[in-house]
Structure 1
């Protein structure tokens, strides 16, 4: 479905061209980038930043229901904007590893529960070394929605720490993805405009 929509956008752009004029494939792709793909990445980044703000409040034991509900709200916005990015499948070989670290389902709920119910030291090193199903959006969803979130986050230092470290690393991965997008995908496209070689594969 995503490919049908993508190529439909290309066809619509080309239909508007006058006969016998060069087909401006690069203009269509640049417009797609500036009007849709880049804003999706920026929206995702803003939502993750807001999510981290409220998770940090929870980490600092500001665990009233309002704070947790706001964290849930911005998680929902984050996953919605992330799905918009993935709808157009903008990952490539260079950034696929970041996509997996940001999102990988199903979540390993058994590991998360056993870790948060033990005396294990939960820090960034622990989370970084875990598989993608134990961190990222899937782990955050489990901690915010599926584990009796309000009661658990209010009473469990381990759950708050796991949520904080996972969200902090998600924010780092988000920054890396945005930097990669700005440095390689968009800027390289603009630099190479006019070369005459633009396809979905080399743009994404």
Structure 2
């Protein structure tokens, strides 16, 4: 009887092994982890970072030309052309600033291109010095007195008529014009340095596929999180929490294109996640989630929250500066939207992809 029981048990074991389809239930990744990382960071560099750096330099060449035209013929028409050239270049920068990562971040080039808020009192003091206000002078000064935001202050801090007078016939007009031209020249120079620097680090950026804080994909995800945190915190929450005159906490309130700047930021982050670049469909972080990690659930959640935030931003009527009076709820909804995306990236995505989150917000959320 004992032998019969053992024989039956043996047959059941053989039958179960022969019919074991557990291997069929194991999801085999379509793309290996290393190949997925390689494609994601390479496409991001080739189709986003490299393309945008080239476009940024070209636009700043145009800003330099517009500044020379205005200096030679300081009319209201030329001032308007210069202001528009600044807006176009600045908005392009919003698609570049989010990739302040790794060795690029440690070089502090980004802060020399745009540091916000600026110290307008120090700018006014710089204009009054006796020395020549040229590129070397600007280079010697702190980041909060140069770059995009300093130029915005000179071009937009008052009505166009007053700005024109300040730069042409008012006391210290010549020095003010010198400083404006020097700021634009210095900004152009820094953009070229940044573009060349990215070219130098391209090989290491594309080949650094390790896990942990030094890996390129890890740095990219942290840069996206940092970009979202910046939008939510310093670009929205400070305006919401201000006891008075909250409008001054919007990044581009003088030129009234803060909303357009936020849209450029958010669209860039969304497209970088999707691998949806201008004229190219690359391998994005969404593809990495699906084809490497087999986590379409996380991808769906992230894509949906990005779209909700974008729609809420698009739906804000007029300059975002006006929402503090007309529709503060819309601004708070946008803040919540951004926090939802941040939460998904910090927890769900980072856990699935073994990302070490090194950026932490300061408000405890």
TM-score w.r.t. length of structure 2: 0.45
2: distance between equivalents of 1:107 and 1:199?
31
**Partners of 1:174 and 1:114 in 2: CA distance:** 26
For CA contacts below 8 A with separation 6 or more, give which structure has more relative contact order.
1
Q: Tell me which residue corresponds to 1:174.
A: 191
Quote the residue 2:44 is aligned against. 32
Aligned-residue offset at 1:111: 2.3
- Written as runs of structure 1 = structure 2, the 5 A alignment for 1:147-186 is 147=158, 148-155=162-169, 156-184=173-201, 186=202
Provide the aligned C-alpha RMSD in A.
2.5
Q: CA deviation at 1:55?
A: 1.0
CA distance in 2, matches of 1:90, 1:125: 25
Residue 58 of structure 1 contacts residue 160 of structure 1 at CA under 8 Å; is this kept in 2?
Answer: no
| Partner of residue 97, structure 1 | 108
Match of 1:7 in 2: none
1:62-113 per-residue CA deviation (whole Å, 9 max, x = no partner) reads 11222211211121112111111123x3333345411111111222211222
Question: How many aligned positions are there?
Answer: 181
Maintained 8 Å contact 1:128/1:169:
yes
CA distance in 2, matches of 1:69, 1:138: 17
Q: TM-score scaled to structure 1, two decimals?
A: 0.77
Structure of larger gyration radius: 2
1:187 match: 203
**In terms of mean alpha carbon deviation, does 31-40 or 118-127 score higher?**
118-127
Cα distance in structure 1, aligned partners of 2:121 and 2:199: 37
- Mark the runs of 5 or more structure 1 residues left unpaired by the alignment: 1-17
Q: CA deviation at 1:154?
A: 2.6
Aligned pairs for 1:109-124 within 5 A: 109-117=120-128, 119-124=130-135
Q: Distance in 2 between matches of 1:44 and 1:145?
A: 21
Task: Please say if 1:22 is aligned against 2:32.
Answer: yes
1:129-158 residue CA offsets vs partner (Å, 9 max, x unmatched): 111111111111111111532222232111
Instruction: Give the aligned partner of residue 73 of structure 2.
Output: 62
List runs of 5+ in structure 2 lacking aligned partners: 1-27, 224-365
